[in-house]
Amino acid sequence: MNTKEHKVIVYSTPTCPYCVYAKDFFKQNGVPFEDVDVTKDSTRAREMITKSGQMGVPVIDIDGTILVGFQPQVFASLLS
């Protein structure tokens, strides 16, 4: 995976297993990311819904590309 800097935001909740999988993917690949707990920040929760049109998590923003769910192959492609 390319080490170029990417802006990655993970919108998540503490009880979501797929959120954990997504965050683990970024950690294991050395990709820094911002973890936004939407249960604690209603402004950022609205931001997530505006970006994705979804209320479910995880919502992943990689350099402005919005993904819903745990999609490791897509993450890798966008980060390479």
Indicate which CATH number applies to the domain containing 22.
3.40.30.10
3-state helix, strand, coil in the chain (%, to 5): 40, 20, 40
Q: Token digits for 16?
A: 């979501």
Which structural domain, as residue segments, surrounds residue 26?
8-70
Mean of the per-residue pLDDT values of the chain: 94
pLDDT at 2: 56
Whether residue 19 lies inside any domain: the answer is: yes
At 9-38, the pLDDT tens digits run 999 999 999 999 999 999 999 999 999 999
Number of domains the chain contains: 1
Report residue 66's pLDDT band, with 50, 70 and 90 as the boundaries: very high
What pTM did the predictor assign? 0.93
Enumerate residues 6+ apart whose C-beta is below 8 A from 76. 1, 29
Residue 3 lies inside a defined structural domain of this protein: no
